[in-house]
Each structure stands twice: as structure tokens, then as C-alpha cells.
């Protein structure tokens, strides 16, 4: 009896233990299935994933998020960020490196198979496989179902207009940090979400880009640069540097294509500098519009000789020095102004220090270490000093906008914003410079910039290119700077072509008048209507009381003979001094003492004179 009860007790205890074990096992299994079920609900319902997902890692510390857009002055998108995914792997978790590499190559064929296999077989715990995948690529990689792979979500910077504004916008690196251009200069504001609105008009940018591309192709040049500047606000409406690059494909974006010729490159711009020489001479009272200089003989200084390319071999008035681009006349004018005054004026025009513009790529001007008389003379016509195209355009703006220097800017100015300006010339001198620039286009070396319906003024520039061994006779910089409408300038346009070659159409000339001036005219013709400036049938020129031509003739020593043509009549005037001769000319013309004559409508070979 006792034994039976003992057996019954053991059975009960065994049943209790078994029941408890089953209960615990059931609870554990229930909890496990509950966790799995909850995870499935989370993945299918809350994550909305109709497609397979792999491990996703958030942004790494310091990675950019929501980088702000860059837009042009009309709100057109220039740079923006799109969400992307980058593929990484943990080689320790990859089951079969060769199999994984083979499968990835079917989806990402641009990968290097050998390099990929080496990465997947390494001892590393984290390796990048491919950055910035498209959504379609991400989906296909996910479908492979490879363990040990994951995605890091981020952003990719996109430039909708490609290479059109590459040097202005710059680009970002693979981590979304600005490495050049506006992207680098405004990296911090862009990273915290501050949108940048620039002064650039992408429509005009396209016009200038196309024109410069055509000029480079026609003249087989190695490069070109162009600037369109608002003469009154200093806003850079367009700026192009060629060759350029596509910021959407940063791989090849280096070397020559990455070099910004408009703001980083410094060049001797040649005869455009004669505008500054004339301006400082007129403004300082060194000479007036009635005056001039003897350009009948070249100037010999030490081992240097200063000659005129369009030599007239006679006395030239100030307007003639600009119209015929006389080096001799400009050099003598600069000597009269003086070295100290020349440096002062050039400094006022912003030509002696780097431009304060919103780009990291800014070049510093090259000036003489010792500024001697010979430097003063050569700088007068643009040799011996090198500046950027943007500096040149900004300086010319001060010549024609009433005499105010306005610092250039790539940002769109608020109409209510007060613009900081600095007076560098009198309004009277600025008016005279507009007249001289108009003469240079109507009758001088800039005639090919003229287009029907628009009054353009400007000046050509041609200079031998400087190298480490001195000046090259087989390479030059050809340029033209223009302002329009010249009687009340709104825009400054500068075109510079690097090492152009002449062709049959230009009679093998590759000077600024043949290469750069036409490009400026074409840009004006296309951009003006876009800006609400339709062409006019007849351009209203400044009224002048007397129009005549004057040609200097040989005369006995101490005498000067000038033939003055008024209508069909020709008058001979002679005098022993310039002032005496001018008085007689005025008497013949019946002109008042302070009247300034105008230009000749005849062929450019005729000598223009203003009295």
C-alpha cells in the first residue's frame, strides 16, 4: 500500500513537471511568434515596403542634409539636391564574395569586377561599393537578396543646366560639401538650408556661352572668357569661362577646364587700357578733348620701341588716340599724367587688387615691382599690367556710369538695398568717355561690334601673350569691352579670346576688332530684346554743331598745315603753334571757342579731329 502511494506520487510529480514545461515552451513560442508577427506588420503596413529591404543606416556624423537650392535672378533652378542611396558592405557577413560580386556586376556593370572582389574578400567591416545609386538601381540590388549589404541614404547635388554655369556654381564632393565656386563660398549657409539667389540670368548665360563657343571654334582658340555686368548695380548678369566642365560628372572636372578665366586668370588686356589713360588725363585736367599728341614718330626708350599698329604718322587729337588706338599717343598722355597719378587712378578703378567677389577662385593682378616711366608708358596701352576680365569690366563700368565704382557681385541685389559706391571720376569726364567709346565703334577699331538698332560704345584690345620666357609673337589675347546703350549705359559686355588664329574671313587677322568685337555685337542683338530693350530704327546721337574732317599735311619747319573739309569746300589752315592753328580752324568753321566738333562719316582711313 505504501509502495502504491509512492508510485502514484511520482506519477503526479512527473505530470506536473511535464505540464509546466509545456506551458513554458508554449509561452516562449507564443512570444516568439508575437515578435515575428509584430515585425512583419511593421515592415508590411507601417514601412509600406512592397519591395525587399536591406539594412538602412542613417546619415553619418557631419554628412550634409537638405542642402539648399541655388536659383538665378528669375527664380530658375541652377543647383538642387535629390535623395539618393549609396551601397556598402560588411565583408565579414558576405557569405560568398565571388558569387556576390558576379551578381552585383549584373546590376552595376560599371563596377570593376576585380576591385569589387578584392573588397568583398577583405577583412574590413565596412566598404563602399557604389555611391549615389538611382532608385531603380537600388531596387535591383535589393532584389538580389545578398546578405552583408546595406544602403546609406543621402543626397546628390544636381545641376539642371549642366556645364552652362559650371565656373560660377562650382560643385560638391561625394559627401555633399562644396569644393569650388558658389558651392564652396556659401557652403555653410547652403548646408543649413539658406537658399542662394544669384544675379545670373541663365538666358543671357546661354547666349554668351554659345557665342564664345562659336568664337573659339572659328578661330581655333585655346580658351575664352566673357562677362555681362550691370553698369549701375555691379551685378554679374552672365559670366562664362571656356573650356568648362559638367558639375554633374565631377570625374573629369580638373585641370584646364576647372580654371576660371573670368575671375582667376589675369591677362594683359592691351588697348582697352587706353580708356583708363584717357579718363585719368581728362579728369585730372592734364589734357582736354581739344588737345592731343604728336604721334608721327615711334618712341624709343632704352632698348624698347613703342609703335602704332594703325600708324597715322601725325599729330593726333585725344579722340583720335582712342579711335585709332594709338600707343604713342597714349604713352605720351600717361607721362603727362604722371606715374603717381596713374597708380592712384588705377587703384580707384579696382585694378590693383583682387576683386572682392563671392568666389574662392579670384586672381590677384600683376603689376610692376618698380613702377618706372617705362612702366607708366606701357601700362597706358595695356602692357606690363595683368588683370582679370571681371576687373576690367567693373573698371569700365565706372568710366561710363557717371564715374562711380561699384564692387561687382554674383548675388542679386535687393531693389531697396543701398549700394556702396565710390566716386572715381567726375560726371563730366564720364560723359566724355561715353562719347569716345561711341566714336571707337562708329569709326574706329571697334566697328564690327556695331549692330543695327542699338548704340554700342567700346574699345578693342590686342596684346601679345606673356609667357615665362617673355612675350610670344605667335600668340595673343584678343578682347573687346562694350557698353550699351552708350548714352545711358545699362550693361557692360566683355569678350576675351585666348590665342585665336586668323582665317580667310578675317584676312588672317586675329585682333580684338576681328575676333571679339563681333561677338559682343551678337550678344547685344540677342540679349537686348529679352530684357525689354527693342531695337530702334534710328539711333539718336549726340547733336554736334559742326562735322568736318581734318588731315595734317607736310609743312615748312615750324609750320603746321591742315586741310579742313566742310561740306564740299576745303580750307587750308596753317599756324606756328597748336593753339594758333585751332583758333584758325574754329574761325573757318564759325565755331564758338568751346565748341567740340564731331566725327567724320567717311572711311576710317581719314583722320578724325575734334576741336
**Same domain, yes or no: 169 and 193:** yes
Query: pLDDT tens for residues 202-232?
Result: 999 999 999 999 999 999 999 999 999 999 9
DSSP class of residue 388 equals -
For the record, the C-alpha cell of 360 comes out as: 574662392
Task: Tell me the pairing of strands 70-71 and 196-197.
Answer: parallel
**Same domain, yes or no: 564 and 515:** no
Q: Could you tell me the pLDDT band of residue 3, with boundaries at 50, 70 and 90?
A: low
In a domain, 7, yes or no: no
Count of structural domains, the chain: 3
In a domain, 238, yes or no: yes
Query: pLDDT tens for residues 296-332?
Result: 999 998 788 899 987 888 999 999 999 999 999 999 9
Helices (H) and strands (E) in the chain, counts: 18, 22
**Same domain, yes or no: 129 and 175:** yes
pLDDT at position 25 is 81
In a domain, 124, yes or no: yes
* Bridge partner list, 171: 180
In a domain, 25, yes or no: no
Judged by average pLDDT, the poorest of 141-150, 250-259, 344-353 is 250-259
**Same domain, yes or no: 103 and 173:** yes
Closest C-alpha to 170, from 7, 313, 10, 362: 362
For the record, the C-alpha cell of 270 comes out as: 592691351
Domain with 584 in it: 545-611
pLDDT at position 26 is 78
**122 carries an active-site annotation:** no
Last residue of a domain, one of 530, 557, 589: 530
For the record, the C-alpha cell of 168 comes out as: 560660377
Give CA separation, 16 vs 30, 290, 412, in Å.
Answer: 21, 126, 85
Q: Spot the catalytic one: 166, 271, 380, 394.
A: 271
**Same domain, yes or no: 518 and 566:** no
**Same domain, yes or no: 337 and 463:** yes
389-407 burial code (b ≥16 CB/10 A, e <16): bbbbbbbbbbbbbbbbbbe
Give CA separation, 477 vs 350, 492, 498, in Å.
Answer: 21, 19, 5
**Same domain, yes or no: 382 and 439:** yes
In a domain, 17, yes or no: no
**Same domain, yes or no: 404 and 504:** yes
In a domain, 608, yes or no: yes
Q: Give φ, ψ of 203 to 5 degrees.
A: -65, -45
In a domain, 20, yes or no: no
Closest C-alpha to 227, from 211, 245, 250: 211
**Same domain, yes or no: 417 and 550:** no
**Same domain, yes or no: 150 and 298:** no
pLDDT of 555 over the 90 cut: no
pLDDT at position 603 is 32
Cα gap 439→599, rounded to integer Å: 7
**Same domain, yes or no: 406 and 368:** yes
480-504 burial code (b ≥16 CB/10 A, e <16): bbbbbbbbebbbbbbbbbbbbbbee
Query: pLDDT tens for residues 567-589?
Result: 444 455 555 555 555 555 555 44
Cα gap 407→357, rounded to integer Å: 8
DSSP class of residue 402 equals T
Query: pLDDT tens for residues 426-472?
Result: 999 999 999 999 999 999 999 999 999 999 999 999 998 877 677 77
**Same domain, yes or no: 238 and 183:** no
Cα gap 64→86, rounded to integer Å: 14
Closest C-alpha to 299, from 309, 291, 308: 308
* Bridge partner list, 423: 404
Amino acid at each position: 500500500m505504501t509502495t502504491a502511494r509512492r508510485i502514484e506520487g511520482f506519477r503526479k510529480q512527473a505530470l506536473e513537471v511535464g505540464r509546466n514545461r509545456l506551458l513554458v515552451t508554449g509561452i516562449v513560442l507564443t512570444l516568439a511568434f508575437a515578435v515575428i508577427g509584430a515585425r512583419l506588420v511593421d515592415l508590411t503596413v507601417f514601412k509600406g515596403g512592397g519591395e525587399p529591404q536591406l539594412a538602412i543606416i542613417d546619415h553619418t556624423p557631419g554628412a550634409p542634409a537638405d542642402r539648399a537650392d541655388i536659383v538665378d535672378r528669375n527664380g530658375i533652378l541652377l543647383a538642387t539636391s535629390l535623395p539618393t542611396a549609396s551601397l556598402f558592405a560588411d565583408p565579414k557577413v558576405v557569405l560568398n564574395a565571388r558569387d556576390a560580386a558576379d551578381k552585383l556586376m549584373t546590376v552595376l556593370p560599371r563596377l570593376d569586377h576585380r576591385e569589387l572582389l578584392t573588397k568583398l574578400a577583405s577583412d574590413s567591416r565596412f566598404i563602399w561599393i557604389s555611391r549615389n545609386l538611382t532608385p531603380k538601381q537600388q531596387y535591383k540590388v535589393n532584389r538580389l537578396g545578398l546578405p552583408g549589404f546595406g544602403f546609406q541614404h543621402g543626397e546628390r547635388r544636381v545641376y539642371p543646366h549642366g556645364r552652362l554655369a559650371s565656373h560660377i556654381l562650382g560643385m560638391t564632393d561625394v559627401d555633399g560639401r562644396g569644393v569650388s565656386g558658389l558651392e564652396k563660398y556659401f557652403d555653410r549657409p547652403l548646408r543649413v538650408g539658406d537658399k542662394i539667389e544669384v544675379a545670373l540670368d541663365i538666358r543671357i548665360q546661354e547666349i554668351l556661352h554659345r557665342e564664345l563657343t562659336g568664337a573659339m571654334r572659328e578661330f581655333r582658340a585655346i580658351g575664352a572668357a566673357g562677362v555681362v555686368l550691370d553698369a549701375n548695380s555691379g551685378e554679374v548678369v552672365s559670366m562664362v569661362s571656356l573650356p568648362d566642365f559638367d558639375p554633374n560628372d565631377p570625374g573629369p572636372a580638373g585641370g584646364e577646364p576647372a580654371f576660371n578665366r573670368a575671375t582667376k586668370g589675369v591677362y594683359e588686356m592691351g588697348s582697352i587700357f587706353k580708356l583708363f589713360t584717357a579718363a585719368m588725363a581728362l579728369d585730372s585736367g592734364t589734357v582736354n578733348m581739344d588737345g592731343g599728341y604728336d604721334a608721327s614718330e615711334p618712341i624709343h626708350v632704352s632698348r624698347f620701341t613703342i609703335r602704332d599698329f594703325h600708324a597715322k604718322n601725325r599729330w593726333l587729337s585725344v579722340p583720335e588716340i582712342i579711335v585709332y588706338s594709338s600707343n604713342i599717343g597714349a604713352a605720351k598722355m600717361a607721362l603727362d599724367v604722371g606715374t603717381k597719378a596713374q597708380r592712384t587712378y588705377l587703384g580707384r578703378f579696382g585694378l590693383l587688387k583682387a576683386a572682392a567677389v563671392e568666389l574662392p577662385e579670384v586672381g590677384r593682378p600683376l603689376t610692376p615691382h618698380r613702377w618706372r616711366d617705362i612702366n607708366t608708358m606701357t601700362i597706358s596701352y595695356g602692357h606690363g599690367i595683368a588683370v582679370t576680365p571681371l576687373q576690367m569690366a567693373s573698371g569700365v563700368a565706372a568710366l561710363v556710369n557717371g564715374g562711380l565704382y561699384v564692387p561687382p557681385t554674383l548675388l542679386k541685389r535687393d531693389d531697396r538695398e543701398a549700394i556702396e559706391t565710390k566716386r572715381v571720376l567726375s560726371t563730366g569726364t564720364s560723359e566724355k568717355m561715353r562719347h569716345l567709346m561711341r566714336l571707337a565703334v562708329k569709326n574706329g577699331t571697334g566697328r564690327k561690334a556695331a549692330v543695327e538698332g542699338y548704340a554700342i560704345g567700346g574699345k578693342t584690345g590686342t596684346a601679345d601673350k606673356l609667357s615665362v620666357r617673355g612675350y610670344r609673337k605667335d600668340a595673343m589675347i584678343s578682347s573687346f569691352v562694350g557698353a550699351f546703350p552708350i548714352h545711358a549705359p545699362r550693361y557692360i559686355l566683355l569678350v576675351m579670346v585666348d590665342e585665336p588664329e586668323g582665317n580667310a574671313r578675317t584676312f588672317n587677322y586675329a585682333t580684338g576688332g576681328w575676333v571679339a568685337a563681333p561677338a559682343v555685337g551678337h550678344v547685344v542683338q540677342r540679349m537686348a530684346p529679352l530684357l525689354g530693350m527693342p531695337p530702334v530704327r534710328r539711333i539718336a546721337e549726340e547733336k554736334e554743331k559742326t562735322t568736318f574732317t581734318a588731315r595734317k599735311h607736310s609743312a615748312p619747319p615750324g609750320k603746321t598745315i591742315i586741310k579742313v573739309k566742310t561740306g564740299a569746300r576745303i580750307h587750308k589752315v596753317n599756324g606756328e603753334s597748336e593753339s594758333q592753328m585751332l583758333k584758325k580752324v574754329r574761325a573757318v568753321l564759325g565755331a564758338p571757342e568751346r565748341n567740340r566738333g564731331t566725327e567724320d562719316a567717311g572711311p576710317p582711313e581719314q583722320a578724325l579731329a575734334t576741336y
